[in-house]
Amino acid sequence: MSSVVKKLIGEIAELAFEITNKTKHGVFVSYHGHVNCIEVNYHVNGYRSGSPQSNAIILYMGAEKDHISKLKQAKRKLKKLLEES
């Protein structure tokens, strides 16, 4: 995994923490090492059982091309969610 990918994943996790702690929204970040996949989901207005979620990204980094671009896109989505609150 490149240092750029590691940095982006760290920034995404940091944004998820900020959003969840500073806004009414809920963000979940999961890394599935056995398939080299990162999944970022968010719930506008917070998580409640049965509340709809939006996917910022589900990315299988070993199988998909242009994963750096997709990680940057997810980061932008989360930044926008933080700024809108």
Give the residue-averaged pLDDT of 21-50.
Answer: 91
Mean pLDDT taken over the chain: 89
- In Å, how far from its chain's centre is CA 4? 16
Nearest 5°: CA angle at 50, between 82 and 39?
50
Domain count of the fold of the chain: 1
pLDDT band at 85 (very low <50, low <70, confident <90, very high): confident
Q: Which residue has the higher pLDDT, 64 or 42?
A: 42
Report pTM: 0.87
Residues β-bridged to residue 27: 42
Residue 85: both structure tokens together = 């609150």
- The boundaries of the domain holding residue 9 are 3-84
